[in-house]
Chain A
Amino acid sequence: GENVEQHPSTLSVQEGDSAVIKCTYSDSASNYFPWYKQELGKRPQLIIDIRSNVGEKKDQRIAVTLNKTAKHFSLHITETQPEDSAVYFCAARTGNNNDMRFGAGTRLTVKP
């Protein structure tokens, strides 16, 4: 089955700096890669996603890149703000059974 690895587990940046979180996946059949932001005790919220036919996608301060050959994808947050502080999860979804597997998560702290 699919195995998703995520790094780093914790990330601390200064307000205004950029943050990058990286994930790798194992199943070449995976073709949908979302990123979720989760605040304590709440449900994950989708912040951006990318499909396997696209190499990069951007939405304001957030961007995601995908390298299908290397089976890795990354989340980039620019001009970070304190409210970006949360736990971020990457995930991979396969077309075969449509289930979604999550990375271990990255706790991002943006210091004012």
Chain B
Amino acid sequence: GAVVSQHPSWVICKSGTSVKIECRSLDFQATTMFWYRQFPKQSLMLMATSNEGSKATYEQGVEKDKFLINHASLTLSTLTVTSAHPEDSSFYICSASPSGTFNTEAFFGQGTRLTVV
């Protein structure tokens, strides 16, 4: 199947700093990518929909100024956690499907475990 690569796999940062997470579709183009957040023993919560060439669509309750999303190309979306705090510590995971497909499998990155100290 298609491959989505997420980087880094884990990161530890100091409170107040920013962290950028990359999500790449390696063998297909993705007009849309999705960012999820998962707390321990909980489900994947959709944070935002990343749209190539336009603004991301954020879910209710997700601060767009804190979680900056950029989707500058058809194969790359980035999530930047700005001014990170310990409560931002979580597992962040992206997904994507080939452009032009609907109602098909979503391919997930391997996830990024963020720890803010």
Question: B113, A98: Cβ atoms under 8 Å?
Answer: no
CA distance in complex: A101, B95 (Å) = 12
Chain B residue with Cβ nearest A100: B106
Least CB distance, A3 to chain B, in whole angstroms:
12
The reply to whether the CB of B46 lies closer than 8 angstroms to some CB of chain A is yes
Question: A43, B109: Cβ atoms under 8 Å?
Answer: yes
The reply to whether the CB of B63 lies closer than 8 angstroms to some CB of chain A is no
Interface residues of B in 33-81 (CB under 8 A from A): 34, 36, 41-46, 49, 57
Question: B46, A100: Cβ atoms under 8 Å?
Answer: yes
Interface stretch (choices B13-21, B82-90, B96-104): B96-104
Please count the residue pairs between chain A and chain B whose beta carbons lie under 8 angstroms apart in the complex: 55
Tell which of A34, A99, A101, A104 touches B105, judged by Cβ atoms closer than 8 Å.
A34
B108 partner residues in chain A, CB cutoff 8 A: 43-44
Given contact pairs A41-B111, A46-B105, enumerate 20 new A-B contacts (beta carbons under 8 Å).
A32-B104, A34-B105, A34-B106, A41-B91, A42-B110, A42-B111, A43-B109, A43-B110, A44-B108, A49-B105, A93-B102, A93-B103, A95-B102, A97-B57, A98-B97, A98-B103, A99-B34, A99-B46, A102-B44, A104-B43
Chain B: residues with CB nearer than 8 A to chain A?
A: 32, 34, 36, 41-46, 49, 57, 91, 93, 95, 97, 102-106, 108-111, 113
Can you give 24 A-B contacts (C-beta < 8 A)? A31-B103, A32-B102, A32-B103, A34-B105, A34-B106, A41-B111, A43-B93, A43-B111, A44-B108, A46-B105, A51-B103, A89-B43, A93-B103, A93-B106, A97-B57, A98-B32, A99-B46, A99-B49, A100-B46, A100-B95, A101-B46, A102-B36, A102-B44, A107-B41
